[in-house]
Structure 1
Amino acid sequence: MKTILTIIAVIFFGTVAMAQDANKEVKVDAVTVGVELNIDIQKQAKKETEVARLYKFKNSRVKKELSFKTKKDRAKLA
């Protein structure tokens, strides 16, 4: 019974709130301003070529730096 009365009260107050015309819409004058787009696009025909180096030797500096191991990486005996 309490839930039915609550639902009826919510619907009643909702319809009363929607029925009021307290706020009337006020028309606002819109101001239009012209916009000019001056865009200069310059295409550069410069092609960049990148070179990838392949190191064949184990003792190269890059492979040494990339394959480092720390003391914590080593296996421990329990």
Structure 2
Amino acid sequence: MSDDALDERLVELETRLAFQEHTLLEMSDALADLRSENARLVLLLQRALDEMRQLRAGLSTDLTGDPALEPPPPHY
């Protein structure tokens, strides 16, 4: 191979490497963003589940509570 062909091949390989490095950095950034979003969504889901548990606990105590504390039926 001539020096020109080797130089051309080297430039092509360096160009490919630069594009691959750029793509790898973009993918790394995207992965970091997804991990952050996932952590936020997990926290949001945990809060929603806690609220549901509290509502269920409140409903069960309302249903098994003292009948004297219940409001009168609507026809009174």
| Both structures adopt the same fold (TM-score exceeding 0.5) | no
Please report the TM-score for the alignment, with normalisation by the length of structure 2: 0.30
Please report the TM-score for the alignment, with normalisation by the length of structure 1: 0.30
Q: Which has the higher contact order (CA 8 A, sep 6+)?
A: 1
Structure of greater Rg: 1
Structure number having the greater helix percentage: 2
